[in-house]
A = this chain, B = another copy of it.
Amino acid sequence: MADIYVRGGWIITMDSKRRIIKDGAIAIEDGEIRAVGKAEELDKDYRYHSDVVINNNPHDIVMPGLINTHVHLAQGLLRACADYLPLIPWLKDRVWPLQGNYKPGEALASAKLVTLEMIKTGTTTFLETGLVGRYGPDKIIEFLHSSGIRAAVARHVMDMTGYALEENILHEGLIELGDKSYKDTIRLYHKYHGWDNRIWIWFGPRTPGAVSIELYRKMAEKAKELKTGITMHLAEVKADVEYTMTKFGKKPVEFAHWVGLTGPNVVLVHVVWATDEEIKLLAETKTTVSHNPCSNMKLASGAARISDMLKAGVNVALGTDGGPSNNDYDLLREMKHAALLQPLRTLDAKAIRVEQVLEMATINGARALMIDHMVGSIEPGKRADIIVVDFNKPHLKPFNNPLSHLVYSATGYDVKHSIIDGKLVMFNGKVLTLDEEEILKEADKAAYSLYERAGLCREPETIWPIE
């Protein structure tokens, strides 16, 4: 007897043995995976004794839900608003003026759009990198819970105008000085952390210069005490290396380590420009690197040394980054970009294997979020976060190597069913927890009012005439 019995297809378990089970089946009860095995063995207990039986085609792929470790919920409405710009003008001229003009309802509309896209493309858990007060974080978190998704939500923390305002580039709408942002993170923590084991509150410090050394250290201590995580952008562009070298005489990862921002509860994002010593330090401290290949390419940030990091034993996870840097939130497509970037960077076709990329998108992401005891693989005792990928499509034929097809050929829209925490959240491409049409309409409406207020992105940025 199970609540849901997922039957048929190939199960990519991602368990510690990385077993792949042909003609497999999974029994789910009370949100938990109770049994995983061959369908012919499990059928007698579950096939005719379950509330719901989901019958897959023999070549469908059943795998753990994807874990996106770098998401900007507030950048959904900014998709295509900042093309052709390197990081600093990208932030200064577009992203911050737009994000700094948000009204809470608009930020919520953005979060809804991004969440809808993620669920539709197979993401079941994600790490939001930094909400601020003006987005209305409470409403966003409550929406996330209602959508059925699992999320670690970092709240941005800062106490200085610093790096950003030194160059007058951090829009005032995003500045939170003193202990305001730190205190609000603690407030959110006590209000939401651990909610149904699907919502966690993290610290999301801004980059060096906007956070004092004291606050970094206080936050690091507090995160340990509260058993929660910290995520921060680091060494995204070459100028970031110059900044910490000049200001603190330290390379970026050394700087992070110095202020307490390394360790198994820390996700450093991008880390494009890292030396061998820094990579060693990341591995030793069990710090996670969130790799975002599309963003690094589009913003001309550079190619992160992911194959070197994996060799050194760093926990590398995968992220899409946001609407104006990618410009999608589809982690299945991101896997391909990750798989292609390393051979190009090293001119070595063997630089990375599809298995490693699949780990980055699943179990490594779970480890990054400190929930690998709970999700990231399909095995008894874990919560049921499971997606089914429809392989009866021309770009996924012939059926010879499903792992290769997942990484090099599939897109998120090949995912047909999604189960999160044992609940059917998407069936046959339709999201059951959200009003899809309404969210798409709201996104347009909110975007136009935001663009109008910010005086940006009101017309398509094209050199071609529009009639």
Partner of A80, one of B79, B340, B405, B448: B405
CA distance A17 to B411 in the complex (A): 34
Can you list, as one digit per residue, whether each of A50-66 has a CB less than 8 Å from chain B (1) or not (0)?
00000000000000000
Q: Does the CB pair B462–A403 fall under 8 Å?
A: yes
The stretch from A176-184, A190-198, A292-300 touching chain B is: A292-300
Q: Please indicate the chain B residues that have their CB under 8 angstroms from the CB of A347 in the complex.
A: 300, 302
What is the size, in residues, of chain A's interface with B at 8 Å between Cβ atoms? 88
Smallest beta-carbon distance A120→chain B, Å: 6
Q: Does the CB pair A298–B349 fall under 8 Å?
A: yes
Q: Please indicate the chain B residues that have their CB under 8 angstroms from the CB of A80 in the complex.
A: 400-401, 404-405, 408-409
The stretch from A329-337, A363-371, A377-385 touching chain B is: A329-337
Within A310-366, the residues touching B (CB, 8 Å) are 326-330, 333, 336-337, 339-341, 343-344, 346-351, 353-355
A19-B464, A457-B400 known; A394+B113 contact, CB < 8 A: yes
Instruction: Check A48 for interface membership: any CB of B closer than 8 A.
Output: no
Q: Please indicate the chain B residues that have their CB under 8 angstroms from the CB of A401 in the complex.
A: 80-81, 83, 457, 460-462
- Name A23's closest neighbour in chain B (CB-CB): B467
Q: Please indicate the chain B residues that have their CB under 8 angstroms from the CB of A355 in the complex.
A: 462-464
A120-B394, A399-B444 known; A340+B83 contact, CB < 8 A: no
Q: Does the CB pair B327–A409 fall under 8 Å?
A: yes
Q: Does the CB pair A467–B38 fall under 8 Å?
A: yes
Q: Does the CB pair B405–A294 fall under 8 Å?
A: no
Chain A residues at the B interface, C-beta cutoff of 8 Å: 17-22, 38, 76-77, 79-81, 83-86, 90, 113-114, 116-117, 120-121, 294, 296-300, 302-303, 326-330, 333, 336-337, 339-341, 343-344, 346-351, 353-355, 392-395, 397-405, 408-409, 411, 413, 436, 439-440, 443-444, 446-448, 451, 457, 460-467
15 contacts between A and B (CB under 8 A): A17-B465, A18-B465, A22-B467, A81-B400, A81-B401, A83-B408, A120-B394, A121-B395, A298-B343, A300-B347, A327-B404, A328-B408, A394-B440, A400-B451, A404-B461
5 nearest CB pairs, A to B: A398-B447, A117-B394, A80-B404, A297-B340, A300-B343
